[in-house]
């Protein structure tokens, strides 16, 4: 099992931390099985905020995924549809236990000197 650093927009990071977002949507995922995500809150925060266990990875059509996850997706339908526009397959990480860091960390703390565009294995 692997750990990745995943870049997530700050508004979605807040929803993950608060527990209202229990699925993180992606158009693509790593080839390796992921069991933990280190959450990098992207611009303007640009800090590592927390880590979260991955309980499961869902792979469905965008409509099937929405129906399965919409109550805890933390996103409105219009934004969801725009994100997956033109895609036949949609992915979601089902998020488990969250460990929020008291002091946000920098990417340098993990030996990384560039912001991830999608994900980075660590």
pTM: 0.93
Rounded average pLDDT over 44-59:
97
Instruction: Look at residue 118 in the predicted model and tell me its pLDDT.
Output: 84
Measured between alpha carbons, how far is 24 from 31 in angstroms, rounded to an integer? Answer: 17
Predicted confidence (pLDDT) at residue 15 exceeds the cutoff of 90: yes
| Residue the block writes with tokens 């229990």 | 22
Q: What is the Cα gyration radius of the chain?
A: 14
In sequence order, the 6+-apart residues with CB closer than 8 A to the CB of 103 are none
User: What residues does each domain of the chain span?
Assistant: 2-121
Predicted confidence (pLDDT) at residue 117 exceeds the cutoff of 90: no
Give first-to-last CA distance, the chain, whole Å. 11
Share the mean pLDDT of the chain. Answer: 95
Q: How confident is the model at residue 32 (pLDDT cuts 50, 70, 90)?
A: confident
CATH classification code of 2-121: 2.30.130.30
Length of the chain in residues, anyone?
122
Rounded average pLDDT over 103-113:
95
Give the closest residue to 54 by CA, choosing from 85, 114, 96, 22: 96
Give 20-79 as a DSSP string: S--EEEES---SS-EEEEEEEETTTT-EEEEEEEEEEEEEE-HHHHHHHHGGGS-S-HHH
Q: How confident is the model at residue 45 (pLDDT cuts 50, 70, 90)?
A: very high
């Amino acid at each position: 099992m692997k750990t990745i650093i995943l870049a997530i927009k700050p508004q979605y990071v807040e929803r993950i931390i608060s527990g209202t977002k229990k699925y993180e949507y992606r158009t693509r995922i790593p080839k390796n099985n992921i069991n933990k995500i280190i959450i990098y809150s992207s611009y303007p925060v640009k800090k590592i905020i927390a880590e979260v266990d991955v309980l499961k990875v869902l792979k469905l059509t965008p409509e099937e995924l929405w129906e399965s996850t919409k109550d805890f997706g933390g996103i409105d339908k219009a934004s969801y549809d725009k994100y997956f526009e033109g895609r036949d397959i949609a992915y979601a990480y089902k998020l488990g236990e969250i460990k929020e860091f008291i002091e946000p960390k920098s990417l340098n703390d993990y030996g990384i000197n560039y912001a991830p565009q999608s994900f980075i294995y660590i």
